[in-house]
Amino acid sequence: MVDDSVAAAIVTIMVIPQSLAYALLAGLPPEVGLYAGMVPPILYAMFGTSGALAVGPVAVVSLMTAATVGEFAQTGSAAYLDVALALALISGLMLALMGVLRLGFLANFLSHPVISGFVTASGLLIAASQLKTLLGVGGGGHTLPEMLHSLWRELPGTNLITLGSGVVTVAFLFWVRQGLKPLLKQVGFSARAADLGAKMGPVAAIVVTTLASAWLDWSAQGVKVVGSIPQGLPPLTMPSWNPALWQQLLLPALLISIVGFVESVSVGQTLAARRRQRIEPNQELVALGAANVGAAFTGGYPVSGGFSRSVVNFDAGARTPGAGLMTGVGLLLAALLLTPWLVALPLATLAATIVVAVLALVDVGTMVRTWRYSRADFAALMVTLLATLLVGVEIGLVMGVVVSLLMYLARTSQPHIAEVGQVPGTEHFRNVLRHQVLTHPALLSLRVDESLYFANARALEDRINEAVAQRPALQHVVLQCSAINDVDASALESLESIAHRLQEAGIRLHLSEVKGPVMDRLQRSDFVTNLSGQVFLTHYQAVQALTPQ
């Protein structure tokens, strides 16, 4: 309990500026960020399985919220908040339903290259969206070209005080990330204390710039400040029940739900593994769903588990979900006691906080490693990245998923089919193109390194037909099935056709090393009964029986 209390106090101090900043990123009033950080973590603590995951507003989900809600309402209007509340409710219901139906596997359709490209592009978009605030000018747009064009048009109206304070804050926060921790360790702080102290940099920036803004009356000189923030508990809100609106929000809500879930589970599993613990993904869906539903009815917007705050929560000693509950209570107290002191807080300070936080999302290292390892995965990454930057976050993510699936189909539709021979003096069989092995002209051994399904069944037919035409002495074809995990109905028909044509040519078809589940399915058909050859337990037994010489 003591560890959870300490962690909650530290995380609360950290997430106050984050919550304010991410609400502005989502196009909402700053207090909405505080509201989104109060009830959701309490509800997550009731249903979640991670002791360290800190739930609340996060950068990528905030960007996706702004891109979605901006299509239906004007930023700053009452209708804008209504759409955000409806989006949170739909997302929460989707997550909870997915958890009840145990559909956590759907997140697997977002491959790591797609996620990496999407997160990197989102980081660049978020940073670009904050340039107007750092310059003190207007602007807008949801794609990188729109943002840069709008910024260029507004550039002559730059407020020099805003620009100066913003640049200094950005520089300070970058220094805090890189230089403060070593400095604190040099003067005697423990590694843990120095690390936590470095993470408090945004709080120090807010305190200093707020005091400077109030003392020098920056607002009278054109510097945009937070202004009056409602003091008190979060309001009880009723999301819109407009069926037409809900229908239009279904796809964006699904994408937000999946992205938020992937981020949360990735962070939760990473932190749990450090303590040799585990989390339950489907229960996490239910917990995140409850958190988002709670946000919808208490003036918030879609939330998820945040990486930075969760790491701080973990490092500060959080042991149970109770730390999240205390964090929610801490933000409630902050809304009651601290909001009057934030009136003079420059928006440029919050923008600087966002820029420094999200640039860490730009993962060039993963891009380089993916390029070296797989050109196809790199193509999916770049399609996602460029589409997100140039077209929009929702279309970019969808395009990344579609490209990944198409590449998977293309790859598996041309399976690797190796002719194998016996390694001399052993019972092992290897590719004839890679090893010195023994073969026999009357026997063709093929190993199919892929499950057989409708897209690749014809490739096996073509390979066998080609081999039969080239080998007049051929009497037996043995399919080594050790890598085949499934055979669908189309592939079964193809196998039946292969067996029939081989039999007409006086050649017998055999199988070896068929996995149990695959064999169970084959035995439910007439294929095994009508097979001209045999099914062998091992490939060595097949070769010994068919070509003993």
Distance CA 37, CA 247 (A): 27
List pLDDT tens digits, range 203-254: 888 889 999 999 999 988 989 988 888 888 888 999 988 899 999 999 999 9
pLDDT band, very low/low/confident/very high, at 316 (cuts 50, 70, 90): low
Higher pLDDT, 192 or 461: 461
CB atoms within 10 A of CB 151: 19
Q: What is the pLDDT of residue 105?
A: 78
Please give the span between the terminal C-alpha atoms of the chain, in angstroms, as a whole number.
74
pLDDT at 120 over 80: yes
> Which stretch of 54-68, 179-193, 356-370, 391-405 has the lowest confidence by average pLDDT?
179-193
**Mean pLDDT (the chain, rounded):** 87
pLDDT at 139 over 80: no
pLDDT at 392 over 70: yes
Q: What is the pLDDT of residue 354?
A: 85
pTM equals 0.81
pLDDT band, very low/low/confident/very high, at 318 (cuts 50, 70, 90): low
Q: What is the pLDDT of residue 549?
A: 67
pLDDT at 2 over 70: no
Higher pLDDT, 105 or 443: 443
Q: What is the pLDDT of residue 78?
A: 87
Higher pLDDT, 498 or 357: 498
Strands (E), 300-439: 304-305, 417-422, 429-431
Strands (E), 425-473: 429-431, 443-448
Strands (E), 345-457: 417-422, 429-431, 443-448
Distance CA 355, CA 317 (A): 28
> Which stretch of 20-29, 51-60, 261-270, 478-487 has the lowest confidence by average pLDDT?
261-270
Q: What is the pLDDT of residue 95?
A: 95
**Crossing angle of the two packed helices 393-412 and 59-69, in degrees rounded to 10:** 110
Share of the chain above pLDDT 70, in %: 97
Distance CA 278, CA 280 (A): 7
One-letter amino acid of 474: L
Q: Per this entry, what is the length of the chain?
A: 549
Measured CA to CA in angstroms, residue 11 lies from 56, 417, 471 at distances of 11, 55, 72
- Sorted by where each starts, the structural domains of the chain and their CATH numbers stand as 2-406 (no CATH), 417-546 (3.30.750.24)
pLDDT at 387 over 70: yes
pLDDT at 330 over 90: no
pLDDT at 457 over 90: no
Higher pLDDT, 310 or 343: 343
Burial of 35: CB neighbours in 10 Å, binned 0-12, 13-18, 19+: buried
Q: What is the pLDDT of residue 329?
A: 84
Question: What is the rounded average pLDDT of the residues 177-184?
Answer: 77
- Give the residue among 56, 29, 32 at the shortest CA–CA distance from 42: 56
